Amino acid sequence: MNISFTEKQEKYIASQVKSGDFQNASEVVRDALRLHRVYRYKIIEELKAEIAKGWDGPTSKRKIKDIIEDKRKAK
């Protein structure tokens, strides 16, 4: 597998190895992917919970156009 990084990413990876927390760049990337998986799973579970609250919650009397208008006003 061939992966390209930006210069900023390469510097960050090198700094992590230099810090002694990791022995090589592969360890840094593996750790980043593991954390990404944990983060992504957490976000998806939080979204599912919010969707369930919406489905199970009370029905709103507001119309879609009213909700959109309120969002526009809030900006």
Residue 13 is encoded by which pair of tokens? 């990876």
pLDDT-derived band at 58 (thresholds 50, 70, 90) equals: confident
The neighbour count for residue 59, using CB atoms within 10 Å, is 5
pLDDT-derived band at 59 (thresholds 50, 70, 90) equals: confident
Per-chain mean pLDDT for the chain: 95
Task: Say whether pTM exceeds 0.85.
Answer: no
- Please say whether the beta carbons of 28 and 16 come within 8 A: yes
Residue 33 reports pLDDT greater than 90: yes
The mean per-residue pLDDT over the stretch 16-22 comes to 98
Question: What pLDDT, in 10s, does the model give residues 46-57?
Answer: 999 999 998 998
pLDDT at 11: 98
